[in-house]
Structure 1
Amino acid sequence: MAQDIAIIGVGTTGFRATTPDLSYRELTYEAAKKAYLDAGVEPKEIGAFVATSEDFCEGYSIADEYAPDQLGAVLKPIYTVSGDFIQSMASGIMMLKSGLYNIVVVQGLSKASNMITKSYLTDFALDPIYNRPLKEHSDYIAGMEMNRYLYETGTPREACAHVVVKNKRNAMTNPLAGHGCDLSLDYVLDSPFVSYPLTELDISPYSDGAVVIVMATADTALALTDKPIWVRGIGWISETPGLETRDWGRAVYAQIAADMAYKMADIRSPRSEIDFVEINDEFSYKELQHLEALRLCSPGEAGYLTMEGATEISGDLPVNPSGGCLGVGCLLECTGGQKVLDVVLQLRGEAGKNQLQDVTTGLAMSWRGLPTTTGAVAILSN
C-alpha cells in the first residue's frame, strides 16, 4: 500500500531582484545544500531528483543538463518538468508512491534578471496565427481578464489596490522577500495604467532565487525528522491556452486543481479546514480570483474580505503572509516553490515576524502565468 508522503527538508537562497554575484547553477547549489542539511541527508541517500526548468526562461537549450552536478544527482535518476514547481512536486510524489524510492528531491529556480526581453517569452506562447501578430505587450491579456473579473463579480478596483498594499507590507518583515515596501492605497490607485484597469503596481516585479525540497515516504520521514510536513493532497491541471475560448471571469484551472487536491485530502469545507494560504498573486486581481476559485469564499466576496482585513496576517483567513509574488517577486517556474516553502515554514513555526498562531493546515497554489491557464494546488499539514 502506498505510504503517506512528507516534506522533510527545505532550502532556499532567498529572493532578490538581481543576483549578479551568483550564476543560476550556484543558486541551485546553495538551495540544495541548505535543504540537505535541513533534512539530515546526503545526496548519496537520495533515490531520484526532479528539476523544474523551462529552456525559454533559463536562456539555455536543455538547461536541465546543468542541474545534476549542483544537486548531487550525477548518475542518478533525474528528469525535468517544464512547468511550475508544484507540478514537479506532484511528479516527485508519484515517484515515492510507486515504491521505487524512499527519498526524492525537487528543485526550482529563477534567474529572471538574465532575461532582457521577458515579454518575448510570453509572445512565443501565444497562438502564432491569431494572437502573436497583434504585437501587443502580453500584459493586455491580464488587463482584459481583470476588467472582466471586476465586471462579473462587482468587485471594486480598490480591492485590488488593497491586495498590493497588504502583500508588499507583509514582505517588509519577511527576510527572504525582495520587494517589500509601505504604500498608501491612493498611491497604488494612482499608479500609471498598463492595460486598463491594470496598473504598474498591480503587476508583480521579478526576482531571482532557488528552492529545493526533500520529500520522503512516511517510514523514512519519521526516522529522519521530528518535524515532517505531510502532503495531504495535490492537484494540477492545464486548461485551454487559447484566448478565444477561455472563461475570462473565472480561474477555472485553480478550481479544478483544488478539487483534485481536496478530494485527495478529504477536505469538504475548505474555509473551515484550511488555516492559511499562499496563492499566486502575480497580478493583484489574481489573488481575489484564486481565492474564489479555491472555494475559500463566494464569487465576488474576496475583494470585500480583503478590504475588511480578513486576509491580513491577523485576519480570519491569512492570505500570502510571506508577501506573495507582489512582495517576494515573480519567480517564473519557481513561483510555486516559494509558495510551498513558506507554507512549510509557517507549519513548522519558523516564519519569524510573519508567523501565524496555531496553524495546522496550509494551502499552496501556483499559476504558470500569462498566457496559460495552468495551475496546481498542494495541501500541507503538520
Structure 2
Amino acid sequence: MMRRVAIVGIGFTPFRPLSPEVSYRELVYESAQRAYHDAGINPREDVDSFITVAEDYEEGTAIFDEYTPDQLGAALRPVHTITADGLYAISAGYMLIQTGQCEVVVVEGHSKASNVLTPSYISALALDPIYNRPLRFHPACLAGMEMARFLVETGTVREQCLRVAVKNRRNALLNPLAPYGADLTLEEALASPPAFAPLSEVEMSRSADGAIVVVLASEEATRRLKGHPVWIRGVGWCSDSPTLETREWGEAVYAHLSARMAYRLAGIRNPAREVHLAEIDDTYAYKELMHMEALGLCRRGEAGRLVEEGATERDGLLPVNVSGGSLGMGHLGEATGLARLAEAVMHLRGDAERRQVKGAQTALVQSWRGVPSSSGAVVVLGV
C-alpha cells in the first residue's frame, strides 16, 4: 500500500549574485533553522535521514556529504549526497518514506556559485572526453544550437522566447527572494546583445547564491507536527542520451518521460486542465516553452502562442514561473529545482503574498540539470 508523503517544512535564504560575508555552511544553517521551525521539529530527535544535493566539482570538495552534517544538525546521523538536481533528492526522500524505513527526511540544496571562477570549465567536464571535450567549445553554445532546432521544428519565433524573459524578469519584481527582477519591454529585450545565436544575453539566467531546506514526512508523522502539509502526489525522473550526436535536439525527452511517470502516480490525465500553476526550468528562455510542451501543458508548437496571449501570466489560464524562475531568481546549480518547489509550496499554502495564484490546489514542479546534460525530474504537489 502506498504511503502518503507530505512537505511539512521549507526554509530558504534570499538569493543573491554575491554573498562574500557568509560561507555555504552559514547559508545552509540559516535555511535549516527556518525549515525546522516551520515543521516544528528537532533535527536531533525527529529526523531519520538527511539528503544533500551537490556536485563535487562545483563545491571544490570530494565526498561532499561529509561536509554537510554540522549545519543541518545531522552529525552521526544517516546522510548521503545525490549528484543531481534537488528534485531528485525529493524523489529519494519520498521513496525512503514509502519503504517505511523513515518517517521524516530532510533535503538540502545550496549554491555558492560566486565562488566558482570558471563555471564553463566545470560544465565542459560533463562532455564526452573523446569526441566532444577536445573541441573546446563553450558548453552554452549547445543551448544556442538546441534553441535553433526547437524554433525550426515547432514554428516558434524568437520574439515568443523573448516574451518569456520579459515575463519572468517582471514576475521577479514581486518576489523578495529574487535579485534579477526588471521591468523590461519587448523592444529592450530585442536589443539584448547576442550570446550564442540565436540565444541573446537577456534569455540566459545568471547564477545566484542561496540555500533551501525541505522537510518531508509520512502521513503518520504529519499528524504529530504543526503547519500546513503539502502532499507529494507524484515524482518522476529521467536521463536522456549523454551523447550529443544521438539525442533529440528539438524536444525535451527527459521532461516528457519524467512527467509521464509523475502523472501516473498522481493520477493526472490532462495536465493542461488539472494543473493550477507550474514552476518549471527556464535556465534559458526557450527552455520554458520546450518544457511546457514536453510536460503536456500544451500541444507541440503552441507554447509560444500561449505566452504571447498572456495565458502563462499570474492571472492567466496556466500561470508559469510566477516566482520569476531562474531568469528572475537566478540559477542555483543543483538547488534550482528546490527553489521552484519552495515557490509551489508557498502558493499551495496560500503564503505567496502579492504573487499568490488564487485557488491553487495542484502544482507542477520540473527541473533540468543544464547543459550539456539531458537529465530532469518532475514533482506533482497537491493540497
> Shorter-normalised TM-score: what interval?
over 0.9
Take 1:145 and 1:19, find their aligned partners in 2: how far apart are those partners? 33
1:1-382 map, 5 Å: 1-44=1-44, 45-382=46-383
Cα drift, residue 297 of structure 1: 0.2
Q: Which moved more, 1:59-68 or 1:104-113?
A: 59-68
Q: Deviations over 1:260-313 (max 9, x none)?
A: 000000100101111010000000000000000000000010001001100000
Paired-residue identity, %: 51
Q: Deviations over 1:334-380 (max 9, x none)?
A: 00000110000010111111111001000110000000000000000
Consecutive unaligned residues of structure 2, counting only runs of 5 or more, are none
Take 2:50 and 2:65, find their aligned partners in 1: how far apart are those partners? 11
Q: Deviations over 1:218-256 (max 9, x none)?
A: 011122134100000000011111110000000000000
Take 1:130 and 1:143, find their aligned partners in 2: how far apart are those partners? 19
Per the alignment, in what secondary structure is the counterpart of residue 131 of structure 2?
coil
Q: Deviations over 1:57-83 (max 9, x none)?
A: 112222221110011111111111010
Which residue identity does 1:252 align to in structure 2? V
CA contact (8 A) 2:106 2:215 kept: yes
Per the alignment, in what secondary structure is the counterpart of residue 224 of structure 2?
helix
Take 1:154 and 1:26, find their aligned partners in 2: how far apart are those partners? 47
Q: Deviations over 1:165-186 (max 9, x none)?
A: 0000000110011111111111
Which residue identity does 1:56 align to in structure 2? Y
Per the alignment, in what secondary structure is the counterpart of residue 357 of structure 2?
coil
CA contact (8 A) 1:236 1:260 kept: yes
Number of corresponding residues: 382
- CA RMSD of the aligned region, Å? 0.8
Take 2:141 and 2:12, find their aligned partners in 1: how far apart are those partners? 33
CA contact (8 A) 2:127 2:372 kept: yes
Which residue identity does 2:37 align to in structure 1? L
Take 1:154 and 1:225, find their aligned partners in 2: how far apart are those partners? 49
Take 2:213 and 2:130, find their aligned partners in 1: how far apart are those partners? 38
Take 2:26 and 2:327, find their aligned partners in 1: how far apart are those partners? 25
Q: Which moved more, 1:44-53 or 1:276-285?
A: 44-53
Q: Deviations over 1:189-233 (max 9, x none)?
A: 121111210011110000000000000000111221341000000
Q: Deviations over 1:84-140 (max 9, x none)?
A: 000011111111111111100000001100001110011100011111111111111
Per the alignment, in what secondary structure is the counterpart of residue 125 of structure 1?
coil
CA contact (8 A) 1:48 1:76 kept: yes
Take 2:65 and 2:37, find their aligned partners in 1: how far apart are those partners? 23
Take 1:28 and 1:240, find their aligned partners in 2: how far apart are those partners? 33
Which residue identity does 1:290 align to in structure 2? H
Which residue identity does 2:124 align to in structure 1? D
Which residue identity does 1:257 align to in structure 2? S
CA contact (8 A) 2:16 2:208 kept: yes
Residues 334 and 226 of structure 1, relative CA distance in 2, 3 Å threshold: closer
Take 1:300 and 1:116, find their aligned partners in 2: how far apart are those partners? 38
